[in-house]
Amino acid sequence: MDDSKNPLRIVVIGGVAGGASTATRARRVNSTADITMLERNSVVSFANCGLPYHVGGEIEKRQSLIVAKKELFWNRFRILVKTDCEAVKIDRVEKSVHVSDRETGVTSTLPYDRLILATGAEPITPDYCIPMPSNAFHLWTLADMDGIIAELDTGKVTNAVVVGGGFVGLEVVEQLHRRGVRVTLVERNPQILTRLDRIFAKMVENHIASKSVAMELGNPIVSLKLENGKAVSATLKDGRSLPLDLLIVGAGVRPRTLLASECGLTLGTEGGIEVNDFMQTSDPNIYAVGDIVEYQNGVTGKRGLNPLAGPANRSGRIAGTHAATGASNRMGPVLGTSIVRVFDLTAACTGLNERGLAANGIEFRTAIIQAAHHASYFPGSQSMQLKILYSPEDGKLLGAQAVGGEGVDKRIDILATAIHFGATVFQLAQLDLAYAPPFGSAKDPIHMAAFTACNDLQGTPALALPNADLTDLQIVDVRTASERDNLPLPGAIAIEVDDFPSHLSELDSERTTVVVCHSGKRAHVAASWLRSSGFKNVSNLTGGMSIRSLS
Ligand code: FAD
């Protein structure tokens, strides 16, 4: 589509995840194109996901965060990178970008044949932070990170407040704690990590609390007290005041779409740029990738924002190919698969949670299991809680969440793969997964979750929800006496699982019965006895009392 005398001019605005992926892919499929990448900051292609870890010193060298310098882009790819250059206007008629050099203030015009918008998202600043006090920071750029580290290095930071219990907020909490700072996490929602359902978020909250990090949930900051331009305390909604030396604001992001909207490109329902499967906007010569676009969701089919690095890089590959050659594969759907380490715990999810499914009118059922990440007899096994959500009609997987130690990442990625390919819980139960004692179990947590869900759908037995109303039901508690003492379940008939077969006659086979144990495993055995003994309506409390106690 181009010839060497008149090379195709590709201009990329934004030089980090999506932009750099687009530009380098375009070069790999088109050796003659004239490719320019504009970046308003002084550094391109830096690892923004690594920023929190340098704050805490876990990534020791700042230099490690610079993935590729502008010289490398030129030497290896012949991509011209212009840093400190901000695109300020797009002229779609002239097919040019107006560029302002942030160092000199000089404005110039750059013509394009194909334009790629990769301007990312921008952090939201709550009203009480406008203007930002000198000791308040987002953590979005290298400059933000440098500012936080400089503040910490004064040695005067005793108390820090982190606003926002999302992924970045939690990473910052962990890293500030690592530096010996007393941290309070403030989240306006009643739970952290809103991509997780309440119970799974609660597991992470409990773990954070065990590290002596204070949390204010559902109790947002309403104002700051300032002294000499510095925030010295934050007043919460309930009127209490938190002293602070450092404030980190991780209150969410919004797509940076001003350039796109000003030149009349169509925006989607969530305020991101509308694109087709080749990442073309409503103007086919202009592409958009990364945090600014609305991707198709793999569960609902609807388009929406999903500001994550994976989709940014994948969409860059599609746009780079299409812009440079006129054809490409299609961008696949996005599931919002995400993961975070919070001290010794890992939390991860994929697909939709209960709120998301309900909001979209999608019916679902839920199975929760507790399992060891590898054979429990092999030294070092760590436990995980795994939840899958699936269709009551055909068992199609709709979402998954996991919280635990090692192996959470592997299970969520397996589940994301399964959802991507439209698998049902019946197919999940058949997966042939690698096993040796140091790595997994012959019946992997994935299989256990799938078996539990298959039982639920086939009534062998069905599952009751963790917060099920047990009033007026026959509740059978098969835990040991000490377990019952630790976590009592009033009104339950206690029969330990190993005594079960000889006590069946004590139970009423006509009554609706829920069997309960600590995690759901022993209850399954007992419930199976009841079913095969003629009990008409038996279910197993999914996740057992350990999960119900969090509901
Ligand atoms: P960005 O990578 O943000 O790049 C956009 C670039 O465009 C910016 O450098 C910006 O300066 C530039 N720009 C904007 N406007 C203009 C203009 N007018 N002219 C020129 N340049 C412009 N995601 C995960 O999946 N996992 C993680 O663990 C994770 N951790 C994160 C941790 C932190 C601290 C942060 C900040 C983000 C994290 N993310 C994570 C999110 C991930 O980094 C983003 O989803 C991804 O970088 C988006 O890529 P992008 O290209 O759309 O935008």
pLDDT digits (tens, 9 = 90+) for 228-268: 999 999 999 999 999 999 999 999 999 999 999 999 999 99
CB atoms within 10 A of CB 383: 16
What is the arithmetic mean of pLDDT over 162-174?
98
pLDDT at 536: 87
pLDDT confidence of 486, banded at 50, 70, 90?
very high
- Whether 14 lines ligand 1, by a CB cut-off of 6 Å, is yes
CB atoms within 10 A of CB 157: 19
- Whether 307 lines ligand 1, by a CB cut-off of 6 Å, is yes
Q: Rounded CA gap, 337 and 293, in Å?
A: 17
What is the arithmetic mean of pLDDT over 150-156?
97
417 phi and psi, to 5 degrees?
-65, -45
What is the atom index within ligand 1 of the atom nearest the CA of 289? 52
pLDDT confidence of 6, banded at 50, 70, 90?
confident
pLDDT digits (tens, 9 = 90+) for 332-344: 999 999 999 999 9
Residue among 232, 216, 39, 41 nearest 145 (CA): 41
The answer to whether the Cα torsion of 499, 502, 507, 512 is positive or negative is positive
Report CA(23)–ligand 1 centroid distance (Å): 15
Report CA(18)–ligand 1 centroid distance (Å): 8
- Kindly report the average pLDDT of the chain as a whole number: 97
- The reply to whether 263 belongs to the active site is no
Say whether pLDDT at 494 is over 90.
Answer: yes
What is the arithmetic mean of pLDDT over 67-87?
96
* Local structure of 459: helix, strand or coil: coil
| Atom 6, ligand 1: residue with shortest CA distance | 14
Q: Which residues sit opposite 368 in a β-bridge?
A: 387
| Atom 32, ligand 1: residue with shortest CA distance | 49
Question: For residue 292, what are the CA distances in angstroms to 14, 169, 237, 306?
Answer: 11, 21, 32, 9
pLDDT digits (tens, 9 = 90+) for 349-389: 999 999 999 999 999 999 999 999 999 999 999 999 999 99
Question: For residue 226, what are the CA distances in angstroms to 180, 259, 317, 430?
Answer: 24, 34, 46, 60
pLDDT digits (tens, 9 = 90+) for 181-228: 999 999 999 999 999 999 999 999 999 999 999 999 999 999 999 999
pLDDT digits (tens, 9 = 90+) for 380-398: 999 999 999 999 999 999 9
Say whether pLDDT at 2 is over 50.
Answer: no
Which mutation among 11, 22, 49, 110 tests ligand 1's pocket best, with the greatest number of atoms within 8 A of CB?
49
Reading the block at residue 143, the tokens are: 């400059």
pLDDT digits (tens, 9 = 90+) for 98-109: 999 999 999 999
Question: For residue 445, what are the CA distances in angstroms to 21, 354, 451, 542, 546?
Answer: 35, 21, 10, 15, 17
Report CA(280)–ligand 1 centroid distance (Å): 20
DSSP states of 493-525: EE--GGGGGGGGGGS-TTS-EEEE-SSSHHHHH
pLDDT confidence of 460, banded at 50, 70, 90?
very high
Among residues 49, 263, 349, 454, the one annotated as catalytic is: 49
- Whether 165 lines ligand 1, by a CB cut-off of 6 Å, is no
Strands 474-477, 513-516: parallel, antiparallel or unpaired by DSSP?
parallel
- Whether 77 lines ligand 1, by a CB cut-off of 6 Å, is no
pLDDT digits (tens, 9 = 90+) for 289-326: 999 999 999 999 999 999 999 999 999 999 999 999 99
What is the arithmetic mean of pLDDT over 117-138?
97
pLDDT at 1: 47
Q: Rounded CA gap, 146 and 259, in Å?
A: 28
CB atoms within 10 A of CB 442: 10
Reading the block at residue 316, the tokens are: 């860059």
Which mutation among 13, 16, 146, 338 tests ligand 1's pocket best, with the greatest number of atoms within 8 A of CB?
16
* Local structure of 81: helix, strand or coil: strand
Long-range contacts of 502-511 (CB under 8 A, 24+ apart): 504/529, 504/530, 504/533, 507/474, 507/476, 507/535, 508/474, 509/533, 509/534, 509/535, 509/536, 510/536, 511/473, 511/474, 511/537
Which mutation among 139, 308, 346 tests ligand 1's pocket best, with the greatest number of atoms within 8 A of CB?
308
What is the arithmetic mean of pLDDT over 135-152?
97
Say which residues have a Cβ less than 8 Å from residue 536's Cβ, sequence separation at least 6.
Answer: 509, 510
Q: Rounded CA gap, 311 and 289, in Å?
A: 8
CA of residue 89 relative to chain centroid, distance: 33
pLDDT at 249: 98
Reading the block at residue 297, the tokens are: 């969701």
pLDDT digits (tens, 9 = 90+) for 391-449: 999 999 999 999 999 999 999 999 999 999 999 999 999 999 999 999 999 999 999 99
pLDDT at 231: 98
